[in-house]
Amino acid sequence: MTRGVRAHERGMTLIEVLIAMSILAFIAVAMYSSFDGMRRSRAGIERITDRYREGRLAMARMAREIESAYLSEHKPIDPSFWVKKTIFQGKPGSPGARLDFNSFSNRVLRRNARESDQVELSYFAGEDPDRRGVYDLLRRQSTMLDDKPDKGGRIDVMASDIDLFDLEYLDPLSGLWRDEWDSVSVVGERGRLPRQVKITLVMNNGERAAGSARKQKIRLVSKVSIFVRDPLTFGVR
């Protein structure tokens, strides 16, 4: 009886303790890996959602502003008094095209602000000053119209880390898409606006491809019609 009770009451051996600790450590590591994977997956989904939102907001803003583009034939008789000039100039480029134009899309946010709905705008790609080789989609805005509609104003980032920004213009006369437009040049489309503008924006850091460590790109495409196709001539003799 005494020998049986002692055998029953004796504790765990060192090997049994080590085995139990190993099992607990394995379970803890597995749980941590599972939760860490869930955390990273959630962070990745949120990042991709933010990237799509950033791209869609940029596309929506460009669409709203391009569809309100205009040209004006209001010019002084004496060229020396020429202080305002309107253009619609699009040039191809890599990694991004450039578009300079005038638009009726300015939103006056301050009471008694000396602004109208007219604005000078530019879209182009510029290198990120903090990351070499990384390009952002930039937007230039100037509410003070002058004789240099492609310069001045404030520059903001519309979309970060882009791979491509491309613009095409539908010629209403030929019905063909063109990769450049110039409403000022005599040999170009002087005094004319395109019927539509096709916007292509490709952004980096999208979803990962299946079975690959590389991230896919986010590609957004939109076509915008321009409402005011003929130059403004009211009040012009």
pLDDT for residue 121: 97
pLDDT for residue 202: 96
Per-residue pLDDT averaged across 100-126, rounded? Answer: 90
**What percentage of the chain has pLDDT greater than the value 90?**
50
Which tokens go with 89? 């100039």
Gap between the Cα atoms of 94 and 164, Å rounded: 7
Gap between the Cα atoms of 173 and 130, Å rounded: 44
pLDDT for 119-169, tens place per residue? Answer: 999 999 999 999 899 999 999 999 988 888 889 999 999 999 999 999 999
Per-residue pLDDT averaged across 54-82, rounded? Answer: 87
- Judged by phi (left if over 0) then psi (alpha if -120 to 50, else beta), residue 16 lies in alpha
Q: How confident is the model at residue 210 (pLDDT cuts 50, 70, 90)?
A: very low
CA 133 to chain centre: 17
Q: How confident is the model at residue 9 (pLDDT cuts 50, 70, 90)?
A: low
Mean pLDDT value across the chain: 85
pLDDT for 22-46, tens place per residue? Answer: 888 888 787 777 766 666 666 667 8
**What DSSP letter does each residue of 77-108 carry, written as one string?**
SSGGG------EEEE--SSB-EEEEEES----
